C-alpha cells in the first residue's frame, strides 16, 4: 500500500471497474487521434498544403482546442482514479457519471460547432460568441456553454466523491496534503503521493470549475437577455481562471503516474519528503492565482493583478516541477532503470514538462509578453508540454496497464520505431511554433503571410510524424485492452 | 430542564414571533437587502429548527422517501426558486396575501424540508448543494449589481445594487468557510458511512449512519 512499497498490493480491476476504465482509455485514445488529425488539417492549411476555408478553419480550431483540453482532462482523471482508488474507497458511479456527462458535453460542443456554426474558440472573448456576424447562432453559443457546464459538473461530482473518500481516510484535506508536517514532526514515509497530488487537484480545479459555473451561466443569461451587459474584463478573468486551471490540472493529475510507476522500473522506493509536501502546498496556492498572466496586455486590468500574474508565473510551476524532476533523477540515477515503454515515456514526460514550462515562464514576464502575446509562441509552449509532457504520462500508465494484463513487460518491435517518431515529430512540431512565435507569427489565424509559411510547413511535417507514432500507440493500447482475458491481475512486479 | 428538541422549537417560535411584529416586518421589508438577506433566511431558519417538532415516527417515514435527502432538497429548491423571483419578492412586500404566503411557505417548504434532509445528505450531495449555493450567490449578486433596470417596483436601483454587493460578499464568505472546513475542519465519520460532513451534533432526529 505504501509508496515505499514498490509493488502495491493489488492493482487489479474488478470486472465493472475494468469496463469503465477501458471505456475511458479507448475513448480518449480515439479522440486524441481524431483531434490530432483536425490539428494537422489546420497546420497544413497554414502551410498552404491544404485549403480548408476560414469558416471551417475556425470551427476546427474551436473543436481542436476544446476537444484536446477536454480529452486531456478525461484521460488524466482516469490516471488519478486508477492510482487513487488503491488508497481510498472511490465509488464507481462517480467515475462513470463523469464519463457520461463528459460524453453529453462533448456531443453538445460538437453540435454547437459543426451544426450551429459556433467558432468562438475554446477560451472565448466575451461577447464575441453571441456576436458572430451571422456565422453562428446565439443558440449555438449557448449550447457550447452548456456543453462546458455538463463537463464541469461531471468533474465536480468525481472530485466530490474523491474528496469524501480522502477525508474518510485522512480526516481532512489539509492532512491529506501533509500540511501537518510542513513545519516539523515525523513524516509518515508511506503517505501516498497520489493522495497529495489528487487533493491539490481537487481543491484547485473545483475552484476553477466554480468560476466557470458562474461565468458560463452569466454568459447564457447575456445571450438571451442582451440588456444584461457583463463587464468584459471580469468575464475574461473568470474564463481564464476556469480554462487555465482546467488544463493546468491535467499535469498534476498525470504526474501521479510517474510517482506511482517509476519506482517499479528503477527498483528504488520513492519516498515523501518535507520538500515534496511544501512544493505541493505552495503550488496549490500559486496555481489558483496564476491565471492573470493571460491578461497582461489588458490595459484596464488592475496593475496588482498583472503583477501577481508575473510573480506567480515564475513560482507556480516551479515547486512541483523541481521536486519531481529532482525526485525522478535521483530515483533513476544508477538504479539500473529497466528501459521499457512506460519508463521511457516517463523520462520523456519529465523532460517535456521541464522544457515546456520554460517558454511559458518567459511569456509570463510582462516585458516579454508585450512581444510574444498571442503569437504562436503560446501554442509552442503548451503543445510542447502537453504533447511531450502530459500525454506521455498518460501513455505510460496505459502501456503499464496493457503490459500488466498481458503479464509481459516486453516492448513490441514497433515500439522501437513509434516512440522515436513521436518524439522527433513532437520536437519539430513544437519548435516550429516557438520559432514562428519568435518571428511574431500571430496565433489563431487561418491564413498566413508568405514569410510565415516555412514554419508552418516544418510544423506540418512534425505533426505527421507525431500522428504516425500516436496511431501505432493507439493500436497497441486498444488491442492490449481488448485482448486480455478478464481474470488476469494487473499487479505484476514487472510493470 | 427543557430538552434540545424543545429548545429548538422554542427558538423557532421566538424568531417567528419577532419577525411577525409589525415594526420588525415593516423594517425588514422596506429594503430589498433586508427582505432577501435577513428576513427570508431567518424564516428558513425557523423552518429548519422546526424539524425538532416533527414526531420521530413521521420523521422516519419521511426519511424513507428521502434518499440522500434528495426529495427534500428538490422541494426546497423549487420553493426557493419561486421566492427568488423579483415578482414574488415585490408582491410579498406590498400584498398582504403574498406576505402571508411567504411567512407560511418559506419555513414549511424551504426550511423544514432542508432541516429534515440535511442529516440524510451524504458528502457529495452536500458538496453539490453548497457549491451551487455559492455559485448562485455570485451569479445573482453580479446580476443585481449590473442590471440596468429595477427588478422590483418597491425597491430602488441603489438598494438593488447594494443587495448585489452583499450577495457577492456572502458568496465569498460561504466559500471561505467551506474551504477552511475542508482543509482543517473536523469530520466525524465512521469508515463505512457515506455521511461524512456532520455539521450538526447532538441531533436526536438524525437517522442512523448510512
Ligand atoms: C499532432 C498533434 C497536434 C497538432 C497537429 C495540433 C495543431 C494545432 C494547431 C495548428 C493549432 C492552431 C495554432 C494557431 O493558433 O495558429 C492548435 C491549437 C491548439 N492546440 Fe493543438 N495540435 C496538436 C496536439 C494538441 C494536443 C495534444 C493538445 C492538448 C492536449 C492541443 C491543444 C491545443 C489548444 C488548446 C490549442 C489552442 C486553440 C485556440 O487557440 O483556441 N493540441 N493545435
Poorest-confidence range of A132-136, A179-183, B93-97?
A: A132-136
Separation CA B116–CA B63 (nearest Å):
8
Q: Does the structure show a pLDDT above 90 at B11?
A: yes
Domain count, chain B: 1
Q: Does the structure show a pLDDT above 50 at B199?
A: no
User: In this structure, is residue B205 part of a structural domain?
Assistant: no
User: In this structure, is residue B209 part of a structural domain?
Assistant: no
Question: b vs e for A161-188, b when ≥16 Cβ sit within 10 Å of the residue's Cβ?
Answer: bbbbbbbbbbbbbbbbbbbbbeeeeebe
Three cell numbers written together for B76 = 426546497
Residues A437, A441, A447, A453, CA torsion sign: negative
Q: Which of A133-142, A260-269, A402-411, B104-113 has the highest mean pLDDT?
A: B104-113
Q: Does the structure show a pLDDT above 70 at A478?
A: yes
Query: Cis ω on the peptide bond leading into residue A323 (within 30° of 0)?
Result: no
Helix (H, G, I), strand (E, B) or coil at A442: strand
- Within 10 angstroms of residue B85's Cβ, the number of other Cβ atoms is 12
Say if A210 is an interface residue toward chain B (CB within 8 Å).
Answer: yes
More confident residue, A394 or B5: A394
CA distance B32 to chain A (A): 20
From A64, A245, A251, mutation site for ligand 1 pocket: most ligand atoms within 8 A of C-beta: A64
DSSP bridge pairs for A375: A442
Summarize the confidence of residues A115-137 as an average pLDDT.
90
Write out pLDDT tens, residues B18-58.
999 999 999 999 999 999 999 999 999 999 999 998 988 99
DSSP string, A185-214: S---TT--HHHHHHHHHHHHHHHHHHHHHH
Write out pLDDT tens, residues A97-125.
999 999 999 999 999 999 999 999 999 99
Place of cell 465536480: A156
Q: Which residues are CB-neighbours of A37 under 8 A, at least 6 positions away?
A: A467
Helix (H, G, I), strand (E, B) or coil at A339: coil
Query: What is the number of residues in chain A?
Result: 495
**Reported confidence tier of residue B206, pLDDT bands at 50, 70, 90:** very low
Separation CA B124–CA A164 (nearest Å):
7
Q: Give me the pLDDT at residue A8, please.
A: 54
Q: Give me the pLDDT at residue A495, please.
A: 38
Nearest chain B residue to A212 by CA: give it.
B135
Q: Show the DSSP H helices in A301-452 as ranges.
A: 303-316, 318-332, 341-363, 366-372, 377-385, 391-405, 415-438
Q: Give me the pLDDT at residue A487, please.
A: 47
CB contact under 8 Å between A161 and B139, yes or no, is no
CA distance A71 to chain B (A): 24
Contact A75, A24 (CB under 8 A): yes
Poorest-confidence range of A4-13, A59-68, A268-277, A429-438?
A: A4-13
Element (H, E) at B34: helix B32-34
Helix (H, G, I), strand (E, B) or coil at A116: coil
Percent over 70 (pLDDT), chain A: 95
Which residue range is the domain that position B170 belongs to? 4-200
Q: Which residues are CB-neighbours of A83 under 8 A, at least 6 positions away?
A: A194, A256, A257, A260
CA nearest A47: which of A308, A335, A376, A293? A376
Q: In chain A, what are the domain boundaries? A: 9-482
Give the residues surrounding ligand 1 with Cβ less than 6 Å away. Answer: A 36, 39-40, 42-43, 61, 64-65, 68-69, 72, 121-122, 376, 379, 383, 386-387, 391, 443-444, 463, 466-467
Say if B186 is an interface residue toward chain A (CB within 8 Å).
Answer: yes
Separation CA B86–CA B90 (nearest Å):
6
Q: Can you point out the beta strands (E) in B111-155?
A: none
Q: Can you point out the beta strands (E) in A125-177?
A: none
Of the candidates A172, A214, A228, which has its C-beta nearest B184's C-beta? A172
Summarize the confidence of residues B89-98 as an average pLDDT.
91
Contact B123, B194 (CB under 8 A): yes
Helix (H, G, I), strand (E, B) or coil at A375: strand
Question: b vs e for A276-289, b when ≥16 Cβ sit within 10 Å of the residue's Cβ?
Answer: bbbbbbbbbebbbb
Question: What secondary structure letter does DSSP report for A10?
Answer: -
Q: Does the structure show a pLDDT above 60 at B193?
A: no
**Reported confidence tier of residue A38, pLDDT bands at 50, 70, 90:** very high
**Reported confidence tier of residue B189, pLDDT bands at 50, 70, 90:** low
**Reported confidence tier of residue A9, pLDDT bands at 50, 70, 90:** low
Separation CA B86–CA A343 (nearest Å):
61
- Within 10 angstroms of residue B160's Cβ, the number of other Cβ atoms is 21
Q: Does the structure show a pLDDT above 50 at B210?
A: no
User: In this structure, is residue B154 part of a structural domain?
Assistant: yes
Nearest chain A residue to B134 by CA: give it.
A210
Q: Which residues are CB-neighbours of B87 under 8 A, at least 6 positions away?
A: none
Q: Give me the pLDDT at residue A184, please.
A: 85
Write out chain A residues lying below 8 Å of B132, CB-based.
Answer: 213
Q: Does the structure show a pLDDT above 60 at A494?
A: no
From A34, A35, A39, mutation site for ligand 1 pocket: most ligand atoms within 8 A of C-beta: A39
CA distance B124 to chain A (A): 5
DSSP string, A249-299: HHHHHHHHHHHHHHHHHH-S-----HHHHHHHHHHHHHHHH-GGGGGTT-T
Contact B198, B207 (CB under 8 A): no
Mean pLDDT of chain A: 90
User: In this structure, is residue B191 part of a structural domain?
Assistant: yes
More confident residue, A170 or A363: A170
Summarize the confidence of residues A191-208 as an average pLDDT.
96
Summarize the confidence of residues A36-43 as an average pLDDT.
98
Say if A168 is an interface residue toward chain B (CB within 8 Å).
Answer: yes
Write out pLDDT tens, residues A273-320.
899 999 999 989 888 887 777 777 778 888 888 888 777 777 776 788
Q: What is this structure's pTM?
A: 0.92
Q: How many helices (H) and strands (E) does chain A have?
A: 16, 0
Summarize the confidence of residues A159-181 as an average pLDDT.
95
CB contact under 8 Å between A164 and B124, yes or no, is yes
Alpha carbons within 13 angstroms on the beta-carbon side of residue A329 total 8
- The yes or no reply on domain A9-482 and CATH 3.30.310.50 is no
Amino acid at each position: 500500500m505504501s509508496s515505499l512499497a514498490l509493488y502495491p498490493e493489488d492493482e487489479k480491476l474488478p470486472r465493472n471497474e475494468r469496463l469503465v476504465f477501458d471505456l475511458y482509455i479507448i475513448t480518449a485514445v480515439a479522440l486524441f487521434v481524431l483531434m490530432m488529425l483536425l490539428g494537422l488539417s489546420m497546420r497544413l492549411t497554414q502551410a498552404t498544403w491544404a485549403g480548408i476555408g476560414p469558416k471551417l478553419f475556425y470551427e476546427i480550431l474551436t473543436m481542436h482546442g476544446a476537444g484536446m483540453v477536454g480529452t486531456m482532462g478525461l484521460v488524466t482523471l482516469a490516471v488519478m482514479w486508477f492510482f487513487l482508488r488503491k488508497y481510498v474507497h472511490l465509488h464507481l458511479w462517480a467515475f462513470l457519471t463523469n464519463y457520461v456527462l463528459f460524453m453529453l458535453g462533448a456531443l453538445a460542443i460538437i453540435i454547437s460547432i459543426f451544426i450551429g456554426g459556433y467558432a468562438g474558440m475554446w477560451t472565448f472573448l466575451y461577447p464575441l460568441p453571441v456576436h458572430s456576424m451571422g456565422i453562428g447562432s446565439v443558440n449555438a453559443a449557448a449550447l457550447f456553454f452548456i456543453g462546458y457546464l455538463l463537463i464541469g459538473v461531471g468533474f465536480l461530482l468525481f472530485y466530490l466523491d474523491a474528496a469524501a473518500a480522502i477525508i474518510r481516510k485522512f480526516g481532512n484535506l489539509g492532512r491529506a496534503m501533509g500540511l501537518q508536517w510542513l513545519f516539523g514532526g515525523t513524516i509518515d514515509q508511506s503517505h501516498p503521493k497520489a493522495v497529495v497530488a489528487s487533493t491539490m487537484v481537487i481543491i484547485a480545479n473545483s475552484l476553477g470549475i466554480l468560476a466557470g459555473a458562474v461565468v458560463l451561466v452569466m454568459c447564457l443569461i447575456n445571450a438571451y437577455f442582451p440588456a444584461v451587459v457583463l463587464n468584459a474584463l471580469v468575464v475574461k478573468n473568470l474564463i481564464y481562471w476556469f480554462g487555465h486551471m482546467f488544463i493546468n490540472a491535467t499535469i498534476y493529475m498525470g504526474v501521479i503516474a510517474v510517482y506511482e510507476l517509476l519506482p517499479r522500473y528503477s527498483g528504488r522506493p520513492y519516498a515523501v519528503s518535507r520538500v515534496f509536501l511544501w512544493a505541493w502546498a505552495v503550488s496549490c496556492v500559486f496555481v489558483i492565482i496564476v491565471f492573470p498572466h493571460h491578461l497582461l496586455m489588458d490595459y484596464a486590468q488592475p496593475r496588482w493583478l498583472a503583477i501577481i500574474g508575473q510573480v506567480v508565473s515564475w513560482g507556480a510551476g516551479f515547486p512541483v516541477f523541481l521536486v519531481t524532476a529532482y525526485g525522478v533523477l535521483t530515483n533513476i540515477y544508477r538504479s539500473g532503470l529497466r528501459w521499457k515503454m512506460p519508463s521511457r515515456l516517463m523520462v520523456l514526460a519529465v523532460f517535456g514538462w521541464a522544457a515546456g514550462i520554460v517558454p511559458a515562464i518567459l511569456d509570463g514576464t510582462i516585458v516579454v509578453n508585450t512581444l510574444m502575446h498571442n503569437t504562436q509562441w503560446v501554442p509552442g509552449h503548451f503543445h510542447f508540454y502537453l504533447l511531450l509532457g502530459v500525454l506521455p504520462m498518460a501513455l505510460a500508465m496505459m502501456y503499464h496497464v496493457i503490459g500488466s494484463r498481458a503479464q509481459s513487460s516486453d516492448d513490441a518491435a514497433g515500439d522501437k520505431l513509434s516512440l522515436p517518431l513521436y518524439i522527433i515529430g513532437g520536437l519539430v512540431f513544437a519548435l516550429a511554433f516557438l520559432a514562428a512565435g519568435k518571428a511574431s507569427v500571430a496565433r489563431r489565424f487561418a491564413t498566413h503571410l508568405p514569410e510565415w509559411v516555412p514554419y508552418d510547413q516544418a510544423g506540418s511535417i512534425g505533426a505527421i510524424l507525431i500522428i504516425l507514432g500516436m496511431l501505432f500507440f493507439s493500436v497497441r493500447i486498444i488491442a492490449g485492452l481488448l485482448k486480455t482475458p478478464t481474470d488476469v491481475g494487473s499487479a505484476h512486479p514487472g510493470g | 430542564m427543557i430538552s434540545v428538541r424543545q429548545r429548538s422549537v422554542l427558538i423557532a417560535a421566538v424568531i417567528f414571533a419577532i419577525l411577525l411584529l409589525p415594526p420588525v416586518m415593516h423594517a425588514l421589508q422596506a429594503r430589498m437587502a433586508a427582505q432577501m438577506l435577513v428576513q427570508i433566511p431567518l424564516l428558513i431558519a425557523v423552518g429548519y429548527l422546526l424539524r425538532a417538532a416533527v414526531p420521530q415516527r413521521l420523521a422516519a417515514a419521511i426519511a424513507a422517501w428521502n434518499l440522500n435527502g434528495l426529495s427534500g432538497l428538490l422541494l426546497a429548491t423549487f420553493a426557493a426558486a419561486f421566492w427568488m423571483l423579483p415578482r414574488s419578492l415585490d408582491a410579498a412586500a406590498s400584498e398582504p396575501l403574498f406576505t402571508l404566503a411567504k411567512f407560511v411557505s418559506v419555513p414549511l417548504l424551504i426550511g423544514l424540508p432542508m432541516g429534515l434532509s440535511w442529516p440524510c445528505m451524504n458528502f457529495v450531495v452536500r458538496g453539490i448543494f453548497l457549491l451551487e449555493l455559492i455559485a448562485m450567490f455570485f451569479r445573482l449578486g453580479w446580476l443585481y449589481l449590473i442590471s440596468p433596470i429595477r427588478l422590483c417596483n418597491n425597491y430602488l436601483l441603489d438598494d438593488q445594487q447594494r443587495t448585489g454587493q452583499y450577495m457577492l460578499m456572502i458568496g465569498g464568505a460561504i466559500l471561505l468557510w467551506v474551504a477552511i472546513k475542508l482543509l482543517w475542519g473536523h469530520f466525524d465519520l465512521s469508515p463505512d458511512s457515506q455521511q461524512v460532513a456532520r455539521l450538526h451534533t447532538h441531533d436526536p432526529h438524525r437517522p442512523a449512519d448510512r
